[in-house]
Structure 1
Amino acid sequence: MRSLLLLGKMMAEGADERQIVLLASGAAPSLARCGYAQVVLPGDTGPRELAAEIAGLGPSGGPVRVPGLEHGWAWPLRQTEDPLGHLVVGGPAEFSGEETFLLRALAQQTGDALANRRLHDQEQATAATLVAVNDRLRGTVEALRRSMDIHSRLTAVAVSGEGQDGIARAVHDLTGLGVAIEDRYGNLQAWAGPDRPSVYPKEPPACRERLIARIAREARPLRHGTQVVALAHPQGDTLGAIVLHDPDQRAGEAELMALEHGATILAMELARVRSLAESELRLRRDVVDELLGGTDEESSLARAMALGYDLQRPHRVVVVEGHGRVRDDDAFFQAVRRAARDEPAGTLVVARREEVVLLADSEPDWEHLRRAVLRELGGGRARMGVGQRCEQVGDFPRSYRQARLALRLPAQAEWDDRAIRFDDLGVYQLLVGIEDLGEIERFVQHWLGKLLEYDTSRGSELVRTLAHHLERGGNYELTAKSLIVHRNTLKYRLQRIRQIAGVDLGDPDVWFNLHLATRAWRTLEVLRASR
């Protein structure tokens, strides 16, 4: 992309029209897989069929047939009703999103350079032959100077890596108007200029999507109320927008040119940032995968060091599951990431299948953290399991298993959503730690075997009913409410339990063993599901 910007600078600084055309035609093969690249100007001699196809294209360009090649496209050198010409490129296959973005940017650079060249030539001709039009000449010189200033200033911002703040400042300096940079969803990312709103206005998602679609369809900046909006969409994917705040409608051709150039530079910057973010996310995922799998401690430490992350502090593995009012895995991941950052609980967060894993390097109020995730989501559900402390890197797999068990045991027990530490699981923690599951299974069969057999053959829920009743201390009202059944239905089921199992629920020893057996039964269900 920097090479493309430098090419634009070469075009603008001294190249005549023929050199500009040759530079553009020669640069295209280095930007995309193509076997044909030609700048076609109005009046050029060439194949009549190609000229006819170009004449029928709209201001955004479109597909054309290039002899001997499968795919061809013509980009206007300037997206106006009467473009200066077209960059026609043909290739053996459809261009990728990145190739399309680079070729479109090349066409824009070429059009700007040709327009500048013609303004410059016009200025020279006018100075030599039309002394009487001095005012017009001064306007032409000013237009040429302004165009060169826009190009030079924004190219310098891109090369120096000033980021979104620098782009906003440059466009404000060039236009004198308030400039905002927004993400795809309308959230403010940077501002330059006066009158910054204390609360930045944001449209509803449906309205925002309609605006983006309309601007993309027109392929040029559009006025939207008191704003003029241009999209930053490298590779065809809208990543953000740059906005002129222009309530007095002062923006003219020069301001729109600055806005359009700013959008191109912003697209390059956002594409760069996204590429870095994706690389960091992959590195984070690799670190977490290696830690939780316990495969390579040395590699995990090296990768974490590359991220600037200290793994040798005490940590806990935290597993979070849930969703917002609308199921969106990325939105849920971002909600956990923001909540963990703000509490703070940790910064190493990754998505793994249907769960989000956080490596927590502090000891926050875990229930408070879970509720913070729900606030970020704007409602929905969230459950959280917290493993025991990891004092060394080799402890992460154990803490991860514990966090998943702490997450799933409450679900199996049908408890309300909450944050559960493995340390607080009580008897469940002891049951999970027993290596010989056969002993647990024999204990469950001794106390619940007849009821389990009855449930299997009849499709009933006597064991579940008994578990709810025991968990609620024998309270009929709470048990019926938790099972969503009538009190009489509950009494009937308990009577059947006494008859089938041959137990006396009034005997404290029987009560204790049945309670332990139902918890062991639930523990076995979770352990079997996690294998």
Structure 2
Amino acid sequence: MTSSINGVREQLATFRPLLALSMVMTTSGNEDEILRLATAAVPSLGRCRTTGAYLDGAWRQVGPIGAPPEADLVAARIQSLGDRNGPVLVEGYDWSWAFPLVGLRGNAGHILVSRETEPEEYHQFLLTVLFQQAGAAMANARLHALERRIIAIHDRLTAAAAAGEGPTGIATAVHELSGYPVAIEDRYGNLLAWAGPGCPDPYPKVSATQRDKLLKPAVRSAGAVRSNGRLTAVSQPGHQVEGVIALIDPDGTAGESEQLALEHGNTVLALELAHQRALAETELRLRRDLVEELLAGTDAESAASRAHALGYDLSRRHRVLVLTQGRRHRVEPDAFFRAVQKATRITQVGSLMVTRAGNVAVLADTDHNWEQFRTAVVDQLGGHGSCRVGVGAPCTDPPDFPRSHGQAQLALKLQVTTHAPEQVTKFEDLGVYQLLSEIADIGSLESFLHRWLGSLLDYDASKDGSQLVETLASYLDNGGNYEATAKALILHRNTLRYRLKRIREISGHDLSDPDTQFNLHLATRSWTVTLAMAEAPPA
């Protein structure tokens, strides 16, 4: 009876210091200190010794304790235990046991304890309690460390956002917090910012199809994913991807802390990109409003005030350009507008533009190589699009803009009406068309048309598909050359001969007479201008 009481007293004497040790470990915020305290207590519990600490998938050096013999085999056995405890063969010991360090956030690893002979059951129980308490203390320490890390990440990224550093500041902050190179891209894969070493030059860019395929996993997961040597997160403040932030991690070594920095950075980036987009949309709307007012004929004071608010110099000489798509390879209007917008930036033509009636009107603030600009638009459409450009005369005051706009529309319409190839047409280069369009007395122009083309116009109006006036115009524009006229109208020579015969019969004109040819040519050009002005009247 006495020995039994003494045994209980001995157990209680051992258990009390274990409880005190548990309290010390719990209040400690240092993971290494917790491990040191726990392993230092092992010899007092049944004369055991710590032979290894296998934590987070690797052997950890804890004071003098390193990896046991045959470390890889022992590690494989420990891994097979999962969150359980169990026996492990360690060279030189008859008894070895792996105790898990389990806490609220899962299992941090195992502590390997060995003894020449198996300890008493009570001592095994005390070891189990010791490492249960150590596991809880480590989980608590890691949680506090994570909270401190979150606060540090939040403070650093908030400072970058508050300072207005944009994507570059965010990339720099995430690089400093993670230690990895950081790339920030727009939705199309263009590099917005890079922080850290090794920025590729030129920066690689995949096709739109490949990029969608790469981003889909990140979009679905709503978090960071590993792909192609990168840890990537997608900034998607709404339904549309706005940008991408990635840690460059070819070896896949970035851990929880680095991923946390990336995901916090992504949150700040999403807000930054949404803010930038809102600002851009507001500025674009204000610019469109200014263009609409100028083209509609606003007063100089109102236009100057709105331009000043945008920081735009309206006193420079401008031209109004009107762009439209050709008949081939047409794209959506928004896509065409974006192509024009990008081309204006590349060629520095101007920054004020608006979509009107399916066309795009641009206020060009200097004279440029307009064909180069048109080519840039086609390039932005993928090289397969089509574009026509009409250029109005220069204007120096707000009241001049409607006039220049009307001239650009007329130049564009004449380009289409005369079946010219897709090109740039300047109002000043219209020659006789310009003179005809500026005739103030439209009645005299209509009388001239009726005198020379009246019978042919009446015939075309009464016969569906008849194109005698158009045929005559092309014949005269090509200098009476049958081959060139037939090619321009896509007609067989015999069909052309028949039409010219009918023209002579109906009009009574001698097409071989030079004076008659001159007047008919002038009349057909007047007819072309009249058609163009009917759809695009100059202001």
TM-score scaled by length of structure 2: 0.71
Query: Does the residue aligned with 1:146 lie in a helix, a strand or coil?
Result: helix
Give the alignment partner of residue 356 of structure 1, picking from 357, 360, 365.
360
Give the counterpart of 2:241 among 228, 238, 243: 238
In structure 2, distance between residues paired with 1:289 and 1:402: 16
Q: 1:438 aligns with which of 438, 443, 448?
A: 443
The alpha-carbon deviation at position 194 of structure 1 amounts to: 1.6
SS at match of 2:308: helix
Deviation at 1:136, TM superposition (A): 7.3
2:186 pairs with 180, 183, 186, which one?
183
Task: Give the structure 1 partner of residue 474 of structure 2.
Answer: 468
Determine the C-alpha separation between the residues in 1 that align with 2:272 and 2:495. Answer: 66
Q: Does 1:491 align with 2:535?
A: no
Q: How many angstroms apart in 2 are the aligned matches of 1:326 and 1:270? A: 31
- C-alpha change, 1:141 and 1:221, in structure 2 (3 Å) is same
Distance 1:480 1:368, change over 3 A: same
Deviation at 1:503, TM superposition (A): 1.4
Distance in 2, matches of 1:367 and 1:360, equals: 14
- Asked if 2 retains the 8 angstrom alpha-carbon contact of 1:290 and 1:297, the reply is no
Aligned with residue 527 of structure 2, among 492, 497, 521: 521
Could you tell me how far 1:181 is from its partner in structure 2? 1.1
Q: Does 2:361 match 1:347?
A: no
Q: What is the SS of the residue equivalent to 1:165?
A: helix
* Residues 68-98 of structure 1, C-alpha deviations (whole Å, 9 max, x = no match): xxxxxxxxxxxxxxxxxxxxxxxxxxxxxxx
Q: Is the 8 A contact 1:314 1:390 kept in 2?
A: yes
Q: Identity over the aligned pairs, expressed in percent?
A: 51
Deviating runs (4+, > 3 A) in structure 1? Answer: 129-145, 210-214, 323-326
Deviation of residue 219 (structure 1)?
Answer: 1.9
Q: Distance in 1 between matches of 2:356 and 2:139?
A: 65
| 2:278 matches 1:272 | no
Work out which of the two has the higher radius of gyration on C-alpha atoms and give 1 or 2. 2
Asked if the contact 1:183–1:240 (Cα under 8 Å) also holds between the matched residues in 2, the reply is: yes
1:432-480 deviation per Cα after TM superposition (whole angstroms, max 9, x unaligned): 1112222222211221122222222222111111111111111222211
| Backbone CA RMSD of aligned residues | 2.5
**Which residue of the other structure, out of 356, 371, 375, is the alignment partner of 1:371?**
375
Cα distance in 2 for residues equivalent to 1:428 and 1:321 = 20
Give the superposition deviation at 1:134. Answer: 8.6
Aligned residue type for 1:487: R
What's the CA shift for 1:141? 5.5
Taking the TM superposition and a 5 Å limit, the aligned residue runs for 1:18-417 are: 142-322=145-325, 325=329, 327-379=331-383, 380-417=385-422
Alpha-carbon distance in 2 for matches of 1:361, 1:488? 51
Helix, strand or coil for the counterpart of 1:356? strand
Quickly say closer, same or farther: Cα 1:381–1:477, change in 2 above 3 A.
same
* TM-fit CA distance, 1:137: 7.4
The answer to whether the 8 A contact 1:325-1:378 is kept is no
Partner SS, residue 256 of structure 1: helix
Quote the offset at 1:372 in angstroms.
Answer: 2.1
Judge conservation of contact 2:413–2:536 (CA < 8 Å) in 1.
Answer: no
Distance, in Å, in 2 between the alignment partners of 1:486 and 1:132 is 94
Answer yes or no: is the 8 Å Cα contact 2:319–2:392 preserved in 1: yes
Aligned partners of 2:324 and 2:387 also within 8 Å:
yes
CA distance in structure 2 between the aligned counterparts of 1:453 and 1:326, rounded to whole angstroms: 35
CA displacement, residues 359-413 of structure 1 (integer Å, 9 cap, x when unaligned): 1121112222212222222221111111111122211111111111111111111
Cα distance in 2, alignment partners of residues 219 and 365 from structure 1: 47
Shift of 1:200: 2.1
Query: Which residue identity lines up with residue 406 of structure 1 in the other structure?
Result: A
Cα distance in 1 for partners of 2:341, 2:479 equals 39
Contact 1:469 1:476 in 2 (8 A): yes
Aligned length: 408
Q: TM-score, normalised by structure 1?
A: 0.72
Letter in 2 for 1:480: A
Q: Which moved more, 1:376-385 or 1:283-292?
A: 376-385
Question: Is 1:502 aligned to 2:533, yes or no?
Answer: no
- Alpha-carbon distance change, 286 to 136 in structure 1, aligned in 2, over 3 angstroms: closer
Structure 1 residues without counterparts, runs of 5 or longer: 1-117
